[in-house]
Chain A
Amino acid sequence: GAVVSQHPSWVICKSGTSVKIECRSLDFQATTMFWYRQFPKQSLMLMATSNEGSKATYEQGVEKDKFLINHASLTLSTLTVTSAHPEDSSFYICSATDHNSPLHFGNGTRLTVT
């Protein structure tokens, strides 16, 4: 079936540095991708929706300058956490759709900022 690959699966970075997370659709063209964030023992919170070739639409309360999303092709979207701080430590998950099939999720990325 359709697969979404998310990379890296985990990353540790120092405070103040930037981290890029990739989300790739491997066998379909993802016209829309979603980025979620999950805090421990909490639900997945939608951060933003990105459509290929357009600017991402961010949910209320999500800093667009902090979480940069690029969806430049039909198979790749990236989330860059800029100037990361310990409070950005979380589990980030992407999902993708071609609008003809159900959502497919990546395996998630565990970010730890020290």
Chain B
Amino acid sequence: GNSVTQMEGPVTLSEEAFLTINCTYTATGYPSLFWYVQYPGEGLQLLLKATKADDKGSNKGFEATYRKETTSFHLEKGSVQVSDSAVYFCALSEGFQKLVFGTGTRLL
């Protein structure tokens, strides 16, 4: 079945450091890919998404590019802030709104 693998955390960075959180996927067909963020005490929020190969999703300084050849959707940010501390989930869509999540990566 479809699956998402993302790097284990926690990831600990200094303010203004470069962030990369790796995400790879296994899927039949061509799923849409998502990054969700969960701030402490809150629900999951959509951070960005990409619906087809080579699409780049971006939001709040975060970016991720849908790489079909490497089945990856790595999350990057050039300069992290303290306010970015959260848990980040990579996910793919198997069908309308039906998501398969990775394990989440905590950023400290």
Contact = CB atoms under 8 A, between A and B. Distances in A.
Interface of A: 4, 6, 32, 34, 36, 41-46, 49, 93, 95, 97, 99, 102-108
Nearest to A32: B97
Contact of A34 (B4, B97, B102): B97
Interface of B: 4, 8, 36, 41-46, 89, 96-104
B43 A106 contact: yes
Contacts of A32: 97
A63 B17 CA distance: 45
B43 A43 contact: no
B43 A93 contact: yes
Contacts of A95: 44, 97
Most chain B CB within a 10 A radius of its CB, from A34, A41, A42, A43:
A43
Contacts of B41: 107
Contact of B43 (A34, A41, A97, A105): A105
B86 to A, nearest CB: 13
